[in-house]
Amino acid sequence: MDIKDAIRTIPDHPKPGIMFRDVTTLLADAGAFRRTVDALVAPLAGAKIDKVAGIEARGFILGGAVAHQLSVGFLPVRKKGKLPFTTLAEDYELEYGTDTIEIHVDAAQPGEKVLIVDDLVATGGTAEAAVKLLRRAGADVVGCAFVVDLRDLGGAERLRALGVQVTALVEFAGH
């Protein structure tokens, strides 16, 4: 089974016309999960990375596994109000309104090379906010790695426009 085949598609979720790409089926399949983590790590051979930043919530699972494979630290990028210490925050646009993500002020040190990991890039708003947040903390964002790119929504291109290298293991058309 390839990685794409391990991802369940749920039509009309969370609203009519949306094809939700559910990676929980991939995470539940030990072989597919292992292949996914290995494939996320493979392009990084020889790269200098100090930390992996995982975007809440599936990015925690994947990012934690990638950090483990790379033998580097992990830093969570969380929704507003979830972190217990002093934070840096970044607002970003949603389809209807705004949201905020945060990191601890000491999560990334100036000059640290950080890889951002999440399950999926759609419009790229959350990942773009993570890039801006980590850069404000002084980190050097070396790239963003995703399992899925919903290419028609343009998120990967939005990140590349910020000068960030983007990798995705599989693509799905539409959304």
Q: Which residues are annotated as catalytic?
A: 58, 95
HSE-CB of 93 using CA atoms within 13 angstroms: 4
Give the angle subtended at the CA of 143 by the CAs of 121 and 31, to the nearest 5°: 65
Q: Please tell me the distance from the alpha carbon of residue 58 to that of residue 75, in angstroms, as a whole number.
A: 13
| CA Rg value for the chain | 15
Ramachandran angles phi, psi of 54, nearest 5°: -105, 135
> Which phi and psi angles does 29 have, rounded to 5°?
-95, 105
Judge contact between 58 and 118, C-beta under 8 A.
Answer: yes
